[in-house]
Chains A and B, each alone.
Chain A
Amino acid sequence: MSAAQVSCQKPLSDDWMEDPVWYDEGYVRAMEPDSRNFIVPSEARRMSRILKRTICTSITTLNQSGVKEPDAIVTGTGMGCMENSEKFLIDLSNFGETCLKPTLFMQSTHNTISSLVAIVLKNHGYNNTYSHGGISFDSALFDAWLQIKTGAIRTALIGAHDEVTPFTALVMKKTHPHFPFVSETSVSAMLSADAAGTAPLCQVESVQLLYKPTADELYNVCHFTGNAVLIAGINGDEANDELYNELIDRCGGDISVVKYKHLFGENFSSSAIAFYVGCRILERQLVPQHMLVSGSAQQEGGIKEVVIVNHAGGTTWSVIKLCR
């Protein structure tokens, strides 16, 4: 297993663990990776930012994992290729329905992203895209995990990608007032049925997607076995955080609670960052102090389990369990 990220932290890097970049603004764009290492400039010119970022994280992940031909490519995206959709809508709104550009439409659908990865890799395997708000990544992970579990596939390149243009940020301010810090996310990771080859970061134990669960249902799914780290989508907004705090209070005990949205910002693919952070915490056996909400950075006997809990608008919940 391997993973890579592009966000408002240094791209394709883990500097955020020791030396994060801090922001005061309510909205920042991602730091762009140097795409010349991954895409020839003539092709890059034809790609929107989200597509370039996707190729950068995907190829980095492939190279690190040593998996050349994944059996599946599964992607989550809340809004898809927003930059192109938006340009198309602006043209539609300004110039009417008669002189629109096909290229914008061709690269505007949600599945443009996952398909592009397949086209670049010439990969004919399973290819799917989930677009369900804040649990888009979790749905993609769920799909891949399920297929590995049933033996249908052995390897899957998973990821989640969302771009937030200034216009989208403006809309989100109105539609999602509970996102105090908005930014952009691209995350890729390789899942594999066996740990052969390169050293895995961790193991995905289970993935659960729950719609409007009761407090009991949620608690039962989360139950910690000790030496656990809980990563939650806490973002500083009272209404948003209350739901996590209720769960954390009930779970109690000696867990370390970790937040990530204050560093990476928020969008529909944020939960992919939580997954990425969880992998690194297990790999390094350390929680960066600046992400700790409560509990300790290291645990006696080592961190055995990371439980990632995110909700989207309080309705849809995802619970991902990672272990060493």
Chain B
Amino acid sequence: MQSTLASLIKGESGIGALRHLDTVHNNLPVGEVKLSNGDMAQMLNLSYPYNGLRTVLMGIIAAKEAIAMAGLDEAVLKESAFINGTTVGGMDMTERYFKQVFDVQADTPDAVELKYNDCGCSSELIVDALGRVKTVTTTSTACSSAANAVILGANMIKAGLIDVAIVGGTECLTKFHINGFNTLMILDPERCRPFDAGRAGINLGEGAAYLVIESERSMKARGARPLVRLAGYANTCDAFHQTATSEDGEGAYLSMRKAMDMAGVLPKDIDYINAHGTGTPNNDVCEFAAMERIWGYNVPPFSSTKTFTGHTTSASGAIESVICILGIINSFMPKTHGFTSPINGQAIPVTETRTDVKMDNVVNNSFGFGGNDSTLIFSKVKDNE
């Protein structure tokens, strides 16, 4: 988390050439995690089968950091829930085994490995490396998966079923979705340029992030202090098209509106929007249209941090939540990297990192295929709270 903070403030993007995934599309710039599977397994002191499971390895590293930072002990963990967002999950394994499936025999290690393409299986493998928890489940709504994991965890806490939830998502780059996005012709062969007139699509990325969310009661009892407050959240559906956003951004509009209603804040109270901002021609116009419907000429400062991380698909909601939280506790606003030319009639994103700024209420958008739109709002915790 500290190195993420340093890179964001210095404006260093993690997007570069592909190294680990074997694909013919290795000319595409990506936000690839620099560590190999072997490196990560070694870091975690884990061996077979973990050393082949990239989604799981990244998930364990991130979840462990979150749990350690929150200071959760075994007893608290045991009563908590682990809600994981992932979609292509272990598809990298499926691709590798696809041709050999006819030769694999039941009840052999190979058969067990075939199982790892299942999303739920990834979540359980992660949890097994963390310790005992009460409940595990997996949200799978493509690019809003992690945000929806946060929402389920928060609802469980609100209902009084649990006090602590570890929520977020993980996803590695796979041939399946690189090729999938490529067939849709929405991958930019250059650096992605969200909210730029010259934008030509996405740079895919990979990664994992988790948040520990906890009831006020439990925090007080443990003597723990929150980093920020999850003030509001909403999940809506654009209900327009499987892979395109409606022109007026109805789903995005409703999602931001409803989240603000829950947070009890007015549009004027929002200091920054971490936009979904994929860099596709369609998303950025529609997302801005939705913002304009709410804020008119006074759209708050917004940026797409996907210019730093790439689009980490199922994990993006959690990774960008971490960026928002870093922004709030360090009073800075991350920029959109490499912005040059405004879209006609549209406000421009934050182009230079702003430090010492008011970051009291922050909106984080995650929009997935199928019009699965989710918004999370994080608020600063006042000193006297």
Contact = CB atoms under 8 A, between A and B. Distances in A.
- A and B: real partners? yes
Interface of A: 73, 77-80, 85, 88-89, 92-93, 96-98, 100-102, 105-112, 114-116, 118-119, 121-133, 135-136, 139, 142-143, 146-147, 149-150, 152, 170-171, 173-177, 209-212, 312, 315-316
B141 A92 contact: no
Contacts of B24: 96-98
B134 A130 contact: no
B240 interface: yes
A128 B374 CA distance: 10
Contacts of A133: 118, 120-121
Given A97-B175, A119-B242, A109 B123 contact: no
Given A110-B142, A118-B371, A146-B155, 7 more contacts: A78-B120, A107-B242, A109-B142, A119-B242, A175-B112, A316-B120, A316-B136
Nearest to B110: A174
Nearest 5 A/B pairs, CB to CB: A115-B370, A132-B120, A105-B180, A131-B140, A127-B237
Interface in B115-171: 115, 118-121, 123-124, 127, 132-142, 148, 151-152, 155-156, 158-159, 161
Contact of B183 (A73, A105, A142, A147): A105
Chain A interface mostly helix, strand, loop or mixed? mixed
Interface of B: 23-25, 82, 87, 94-95, 98-99, 101-102, 104-107, 111-112, 114-115, 118-121, 123-124, 127, 132-142, 148, 151-152, 155-156, 158-159, 161, 175-177, 179-185, 235-243, 250-251, 254, 368-372
A312 B120 contact: yes
12 contacts: A110-B141, A111-B141, A119-B242, A128-B141, A128-B148, A128-B372, A130-B138, A131-B118, A143-B152, A174-B111, A209-B137, A211-B133
A262 B1 CA distance: 51
A111 B243 CA distance: 11
Contact of B372 (A115, A122, A136): A115
B173 to A, nearest CB: 13
B121 to A, nearest CB: 7
A210 B156 CA distance: 14
Nearest to B103: A174
Contacts of A212: 132
Contacts of B25: 97
B98 A93 contact: yes
A118 B159 contact: no
A203 B151 CA distance: 25
A128 B87 CA distance: 13
Nearest to B262: A152
Contacts of A109: 87, 140, 142, 369-370
B239 A122 contact: yes
Contact of A149 (B104, B139, B159, B240): B159
Contacts of B140: 77, 80, 109-111, 129-131
A123 B159 contact: no
B179 A97 contact: yes
B155 A116 contact: no
Contacts of A126: 235-237
Contacts of B123: 132
A30 to B, nearest CB: 21
Contacts of B239: 115, 118-119, 121-124, 127
A150 B141 contact: no
Contacts of B181: 105
A110 B114 CA distance: 18
Contacts of A176: 115
A106 B243 contact: yes
A109 B142 CA distance: 7
The residue in A100, A106, A136 that gathers the most chain B C-beta atoms within 10 A of its C-beta is: A106
Given A105-B184, A128-B235, A174-B104, A115 B369 contact: yes
